Structure 1
Amino acid sequence: MPRLELRTEIDSNKEIVFDLSRSIDLHKISTKHTNETAVDGKTSGLIGPNEWVTWRAKHFGIYQKLTSRITEYNRSDFFADEMEKGAFKKFRHEHHFSELNGGTLMTDIFEYDSPFGILGIIADKLFIKKYMTDLLEKRNRTIKEFAESEKWKTVLEKEKYVC
């Protein structure tokens, strides 16, 4: 089972980074290049415990649907989503958040199994692992860009963060 682990340092409040990471709307922005759209379940706003979303996106020239559910949730520190239906045999994406030097360290752990047995293993080595890493890195750059500027206010409810 391939495992990707990405660490992103973000100069922003952990609460903001946590919420941007679970924002359906920000996810759409970060995956614009794949025409990703939320088509069922939670289709906008912040996804939370036991909620699910079905995404429709174009990957490798083919439109696909993938449904994932938030299976674990610990406000501001951690959440995990797991595939219920989709192209992978299975996947689990853990999102970890910790304070670091006045900002946030966001750690993604993404584990997946490709379908098709040995052909899936070969595809992982040839292109899927790199493709998934690039997709997650793009997402994380978008989260960082929004969190480190005032852009986060366009995605999250401003009133929620007023002290």
Structure 2
Amino acid sequence: MPSVYLLQQTQFIPAPLEVVWDFFSNPNNLERITPAYMRFRVTSPPYEGRVYPGQMITYTVCPIARIPMEWVTEITHVQQHDYFVDEQRVGPYRLWHHGHHFVEVPGGVQMQDTVHYRLPLGWLGRLAHVLFVRRQLENIFAYRLRVVEDLFGK
């Protein structure tokens, strides 16, 4: 069983690249695309500028039994209108590396999320992955896909 897992999702969004980029690179929109049961809240001050390497974003989230956890991510790489990467600095994962990639295609944008993650606690983390973590992440990204379709169309 691997200790570093991969989650990928690709979605076509029928909107201009700049609009899609501005939406996804703005941390103020994360609550809108996260299921309510996660109780996800951005706790960093609102930021209206452009995403930049070194940007720190803080959140609270309740992934297990409604117990709040602090989550801190750092934007580590940005190529304007092409991709950005966030990496967890504090939070529930031992490793969280999330790449957001955007490609302009006829009629809109193809967006791909690529997440490499690792859980703490060795074999207990691997068991938790099998029992609920993988399914929870897949459900979160499926929810995100539906919300983005509602916002931008199919």
| TM-score band w.r.t. shorter chain | 0.7 to 0.9
Which residue is equivalent to 1:139? 144
Moved runs in structure 1, 4+ residues, more than 4 A? none
Name the CA shift for 1:11/1:29 in 2 (closer, same or farther; >3 Å).
same
Q: Where do 1:13-162 residues align within 5 Å? A: 13-31=16-34, 33=36, 34-40=38-44, 42-45=45-48, 48-49=51-52, 50-61=54-65, 62-148=67-153
Query: Are residue 9 (structure 1) and residue 12 (structure 2) matched?
Result: yes
**Cα–Cα, structure 1 residues 47 and 54, in superposed 2: closer, same or farther, change >3 Å?**
farther
Q: Which amino acid counterpart does residue 80 of structure 2 have in structure 1?
A: R
% same residue: 23
- Give distance in 1, aligned partners of 2:129 and 2:58: 23
- What is the aligned residue count? 148
Task: Compute the displacement of 1:102 (Å).
Answer: 2.0
Tell me, in whole angstroms, the C-alpha distance in 1 between the residues paired with 2:106 and 2:35: 32
CA-CA distance at 1:141 after TM superposition: 2.9
Paired residues of 1:97 and 1:105 also in contact (CA < 8 A)? yes
- Residue 139 of structure 1: how far off its partner (Å): 2.3
- CA RMSD in angstroms comes to 1.9
Change (3 A) 1:23 1:147: farther
- Where in structure 2 are there 5+ consecutive unaligned residues? none
Q: 1:22 to 1:141 in 2, by over 3 A?
A: farther
| TM-score, reference length from structure 1 | 0.82
**Offset of residue 148 of structure 1:** 3.8
Counterpart of 1:17, as a letter, is V
Query: Which letter maps to 2:68?
Result: Y
**Whole-Å Cα distance in 2 between the matches of residues 95 and 58 of structure 1?**
23
Segment of structure 1 superposing worse, 25-34 or 12-21: 25-34
Contact residue 10 and residue 104 of structure 1 kept, 8 A:
yes
